[in-house]
Amino acid sequence: MQPRKVERSAKFVTTGFRIGGNYVKHYSKKLFNPDLNRDELNEDNATDIYNSLSQLKGSALKIAQMLSMDKNILPKAYVNKFTQSQYNAPPLSGPLIIRTFTKSFGKSPEEIFDSFNPASVQAASIGQVHEATLRGKKLAVKVQYPGVGDSISSDLRLVKPFAFRLLNMSEKELNIYIKEVEERLLEETDYNLEVRRSMEISKACGKLKNVVFPKYYPKLSSNKIITMDWMEGLHLKEFLATNPSQELKNKIGQALWDFYNFQQHELRAVHADPHPGNFLITPDEKLAVIDFGCIKELPEDFYNPFFALVAPGLMNDKGATINAFRQLQMIFPDDDKKKIEFYYKWYKEMVSLFSLPYRGKTFDFSELKFFEDLYAYGEKITRMPEFKQPRGVKHFIYVNRTNFGLYTLLNELNATVRTDTFPPHVSTI
């Protein structure tokens, strides 16, 4: 009775065959040309996976987005393809939108709003956005696809083998991380929760300079529908196409930096979905944040050791650094001396790279070398057998995604920002 699941399984099976084929192609070419690197293979695989993912909806699309954010883990070829999946998904039919409204409010959208455009203006991975007006106010109404929550677990099961193949990691060891992803994805389907959090966080961030939030309307929202103010503005790409001044780019970049670091260090809960579609640059030169689906809370036992590493000083103390790595499960209790040295060296390099922006008072994110170093480091460790086994507590997934996402956005803006506005607060460990 679940045609959907079967359909999707079939989709993944064909993808599986194709990827298998790509490997065959790769290795047969390699027989004749030993210098061939994996770029072409990666490109082929990414294309096929992308093609099949783009025909799916809901969480698979979300996973594609998620992978595309993790530029640090994925080779560039995957990233380029996956970035495309952040947009476009087949829209809901008009009657189903009406049905969703009547289920939530007992009224059709026409009865609730003064006007409601049944054609959606944008797909939002697990839902779509409509334009409406009420008493002269322009509103954005997000409607969720039916069955999204239900299909997430099965989607993850389907996508797992491919995700593992992509990351060259074994399935068993990654389950704890997959679980973390599943939890966040399921939270995202709860629109009541999203409205509540959006209101809380936008209130808490209300004093930040140059950051604005839409007003949310809980009475016009339900578990499947969110109504908020329509925000006028440009997406990052469009904004950059207008050739903004360096000063303006720095201003927006600073707003982004403050928004994320205020949340991480003051709220200890962070908007963990820094993909460009979630932001607008308003005509009065402010950063508008329009999606709070994914919030990652940072528990004390993660926050402290992790940001202690970022804070200056600690890394000079080898014993304390190793201690922090142990608390973060980057070094396991049963690692022998040689292993401890090995992981200490590599993780130290990673953290030093990551925390570079925090080192001084300002940081220039147009600095290509910084990103090249990050990618180079990422590619280097994905080739090392020692890193086949995943390490690090599960919280890293979203915290890395958030911070690398932030860095990438700032890089696209070519912004120079003050990085000491909201510094980490760590108690000594």
Partner 1 sequence: MANADQIKKSYIDYVLTHGEAPKSVYNFAKKLKISEADFYEFYSSFAAIEKAVWEDMTMETLAKIRDQEVWSKYSAREKMLSFFYSYIEVLKTQRSFIIYSLKKHPKRLTTPDILTGVKMLFLDFAEEIINEGLDSGELANRKFFSKKYKDALWLQFGFIINFWTDDDSAAFEKTDEAIEKGINVTFDLFQRSPIDNLFEYGKFLTRNGKFKEKMGI
Judged by CB under 8 A, the chain residues 125 through 184 that form the site for partner 1 are 146-147, 150
Selected from 1, 31, 34, 336, the binder of partner 1 by CB under 8 A is 1
Binding residues among 175-214 for partner 1 as defined by CB under 8 A: none
CB of 293 to partner 1, least distance (A): 19
Q: Which of 4, 18, 235, 348 binds partner 1 (CB under 8 A)?
A: 4
Which residue number, 6 or 31, has a Cβ lying nearer to partner 1? 6
CB 88 to partner 1: min, Å: 17
> Tokens 């008009």 — which residue?
94
Is residue 84 within 8 A of residue 54, CB to CB? The reply is yes
Select 98 or 193, whichever has its Cβ closest to partner 1.
Answer: 98
Nearest to partner 1 of 147, 423 (CB atom): 147
**Smallest separation (angstroms) from partner 1 to the CB of 237:** 31
Q: Left if phi > 0, otherwise alpha if psi is -120 to 50, otherwise beta: which for 202?
A: alpha
Q: Is 356 helix (H, G, I), strand (E, B) or coil?
A: helix
Length of the chain: 429
Site size for partner 1, by CB under 8 A?
A: 19
C-beta of 143: minimal distance to partner 1 in Å? 12
- Tell the smallest beta-carbon distance from residue 193 to partner 1 (Å): 16
If the CB atoms of residues 125 and 202 are measured against partner 1, the closer one turns out to be 125
Q: Which residues of 173-201 are buried (b: 16+ CB within 10 A; e: fewer)?
A: ebeebbebbbebbebbbbbeebbebbbeb
Q: Within a 10 A sphere around the Cβ of 246, how many other Cβ atoms?
A: 12
Residue whose entry in the numeric block shows the structure tokens 């962070």: 270
Q: Residue 395 and residue 390: Cα distance in Å, rounded?
A: 13
| Least Å from the CB of residue 6 to partner 1 | 12
Long-range pairs, 316-323, Cβ under 8 A, ≥24: 318/344, 320/429, 321/348, 323/429
What CA–CA distance (Å, rounded) separates 186 from 168?
26
C-beta closer to partner 1: residue 102 or 170:
102
212, β-bridge pairs: 288
Please report, as residue ranges, which positions from 67 to 106 form the binding site for partner 1 (by CB under 8 A).
92-96, 98-100, 102-103
Taking the C-alpha atoms of residue 180 and residue 162, their distance in angstroms, rounded to an integer, is: 18
Rounded to a whole number of angstroms, the minimum distance from the CB of residue 166 to partner 1 is 28
What span, in angstroms and rounded, lies between the C-alpha atoms of 220 and 215?
12
In the bound state with partner 1, the residue whose beta carbon lies nearer, of 112 and 410, is 112
Q: Name which of residues 108 to 127 contact partner 1 (CB under 8 A).
A: 108, 110, 118
Nearer of residues 146 and 277 to partner 1, judged by Cβ = 146
Closest distance to partner 1 from the beta carbon of 254 (Å): 43
Q: What string of DSSP letters covers 97-132? A: HHHHHHHHHSS-HHHHSSEE-SS-SEE-SSEEEEEE
**Which CB sits closer to partner 1, 130 or 265?**
130
Interacting positions 336-355 with partner 1 (CB under 8 A)? none
Give the x-and-dash track for 289-328 against partner 1 (CB under 8 A).
----------------------------------------
C-beta separation of 290 from 280 below 8 A: yes
Compute the least distance from the CB of residue 92 to partner 1, in Å. Answer: 7
What are the Cα distances from residue 270, in Å, to 82, 255, 262, 400? 24, 15, 9, 12
- The whole-angstrom separation of Cα 23 and Cα 27 is 6
Closer Cβ to partner 1, 4 or 165, answer by number: 4
For partner 1, give the closer residue by CB, 109 or 233: 109
Residue 133 has a CB neighbour count (10 Å cut-off) of 14
Q: Minimum Å distance from CB 82 to partner 1? A: 25
Place of tokens 């910084």: 370
Q: Could you tell me the two tokens for 123?
A: 């797909």
Cβ at position 151, least distance to partner 1 in Å: 9
- Return the exposure string of 365-391: e unless at least 16 CB atoms fall within 10 Å of the residue's CB, then b: bbeeebbeebeebbeebbeeeeeeebb
Dihedral sign, Cα of residue 31, residue 32, residue 33, residue 39: negative
CB neighbourhood size of 359 (10 A): 11
Mark the segment that binds partner 1 (CB under 8 A) among 1-9, 43-51, 182-190, 253-261: 1-9
Task: Point out which residues bind partner 1 (CB under 8 A).
Answer: 1, 3-4, 92-96, 98-100, 102-103, 108, 110, 118, 146-147, 150
